[in-house]
Amino acid sequence: MSQKQKKIILWILMLNMFITMGGIGIIIPVLPAYLELFGVGGQVLGFLIAAFALAQFLLSPVAGDLSDRYGRKIFIIGGLIIYGLSQILFGLATEVWILFISRFLTGVGAAFIMPPIMAYVADITTVEERGKGMGMIGAAISLGFMIGPGLGGFLANVNLHFPFFLSGSVAFAAALLSFFILPNIKPEIKESNKGVKQPRENLIKQLVRSVKTPYFILLIVVFTFSFGIANFQSTLSMYLTLKFDYTPTDIAIVITLGGFVGVILQMFIIERLFKRFGEMKVILINLVVAAITMVLMIYIRGFFVILAVTTLFQIATVFIRPAANTLISKFAGKDQGFAAGMNNAYMSLGNMIGPALAGVLLEWNMRAPFILGCTILLACYALSYGWTKRKAPNLMHAEQTSH
C-alpha cells in the first residue's frame, strides 16, 4: 500500500472518529437545559452518559473481535448508521425512557466504530508509525470533543433539538463516504487462519483473557483515567450550571477552548513527546496534572480562571489517551482488533461508572465528584508507576519502545 493510500484511509478514519466524538460532545452543553424540558437533573444526566458507556462496554470487545475476522469496514459503516439513527431519536424524544434507549443505541454505534478504527490504524502503520497514527486519531477525538460542544452550544440558542438532528445527518453522510472510499483491508490474522473456524468468546471470557495479556496494566490505566475524565466531563456542565448559572453557550466556550488548545498541541508535539520521554512518562506526568486541576475546580471562581483550569485538564487528558492507545497497540501484535476492543471496553467501563457515580454525588455534595476523580487519578498514577518500575522499566525510555 502506497503512502498516499495510507493518508487517504487515515483521513477517512479521522473524519469518522471526529464525527463520532463530535456527536457525543454536542450534548454536553445542551444536556442540562434539555433535561429541564423533562423535569429531571444531575442524576439522570449521569445515568444517561452511563447508558452510552454501558453499550460500549458490552459491545466493544465483540466489535474488535469480529473486525479481526471479517475486516474493519463493515462495522465502521454499520456503526455510523446506528449512531446517526440514535442521535435523531434523542432529538425526537418525548419521554425520559426514550432518552435512555437513544443513548444506549448511540453507545452501540460508537462501539462498532471506535475499536475497528483503532485496529485499522494498526493494520496500515508500522510500529514506528504507530504513535503518529494513533496521535492523529487522538487529535480527531479531541477535535470532535472541541467542536461538538461549541456547535451544540451555538445551535441550542436556536433550538434545543436541532444539534441532535444535525449530528445524525452527518453520521449518515460519513457512512456513505466510507462505503465508497474506505477499502476493506483484511487483517493479517484472518489470512493466516483461513478456513479455520475459531470459537466465539463471550465478554466474560474476553475480560478474563485480557488479564493474561502483557498490556493488562495499561487497560487498568485506561479504565481509571477514563473514570476520572468522565467524572469531570459529566459533572462540569451541571456543576457550572448549578453553581455559576452558566448558559449552554458559556459551557460550550469553556469546553471548546480547552479542546482547541489540546488538539493543536497534540497535532504538533505529541510525537516529539513520545520520542523524547516515552509514552509511559507522558501518561504519568499528565495523570498528576489532571488530578491537580480537578481538585482546583472546587476552589476557583471567575470565568477566565475556570477557563484556564479546564484547559489544563483537557490538555492533560488529550496527551494520556493516545499514549495509552499506542502502548497497547505495540504490545498487541496481530490481535489488534481484540486489543482495541478491550481498550474501548475498559474505557467504557470507566465512562459508565464515573458519570453514574458523579451524578449521584453531585446531588449530595457538589465538591464530591471532583474529590473522587482526583483520588482515582492519583491511584492510577501510583499503580502505573509501580508496575513500570517492577515489570517494564524500559517503557520509561523512549528510545527502547519501538524496538
The yes-or-no answer to whether 1-182 and 205-402 have a common fold is: yes
Could you give the percent of the chain with pLDDT greater than 70? 91
pLDDT of residue 182: 87
pLDDT of residue 397: 58
Enter the C-alpha cell of residue 382: 501510583
pLDDT of residue 42: 67
CATH architecture group of domain 205-402: Up-down Bundle (1.20)
Task: In whole angstroms, give the CA distance from residue 262 to residue 377.
Answer: 19
The pLDDT tens digits for 126-150 are 777 777 787 788 778 767 766 777 7
State how far Cα 69 lies from the chain centre.
24
Work out the average pLDDT over 284-302: 90
Most confident of 19-23, 361-365, 390-394: 19-23
pLDDT of residue 118: 84
Enter the C-alpha cell of residue 338: 481484540
Size of the chain, expressed as the number of residues it contains: 403
pLDDT of residue 194: 45
Enter the C-alpha cell of residue 50: 452511563
Quick one: which of 72, 68, 336 has its CA closest to 193?
68
Rounded to the nearest integer, the mean pLDDT of the chain is 81
Domain range annotation of the chain:
1-182, 205-402
Residue 82 has pLDDT above 80, yes or no: yes
pTM: 0.70
3 state DSSP class of 157: coil
SS (H, E, C) 263-305: HHHHHHHHHHHHHHHCHHHHHHHHHHHHHHHHHHCCCCCCHHH
Lowest mean pLDDT among 9-23, 141-155, 318-332: 141-155
More confident residue, 313 or 201: 313
pLDDT of residue 58: 84
Could you give the percent of the chain with pLDDT greater than 90? 17
Burial of 268 (0-12, 13-18, 19+ CB in 10 A): exposed
pLDDT of residue 202: 66
Given the C-alpha cell 483537557, which residue does it identify?
A: 314
- Please determine, looking at this structure, whether the domain spanning 1-182 carries the CATH number 1.20.1250.20: yes
Reported as half-sphere exposure (CB side, CA atoms, 13 A), residue 386 has a value of 9
> Which residues, at least 6 apart from 276, have a Cβ–Cβ distance to it below 8 Å?
398
Work out the average pLDDT over 180-191: 68
Q: Give DSSP secondary structure letters for 33-67.
A: HHHHTTT--HHHHHHHHHHHHHHHHHHHHHHHHHH
3 state DSSP class of 110: helix
Contact 190, 281 (CB under 8 A): no
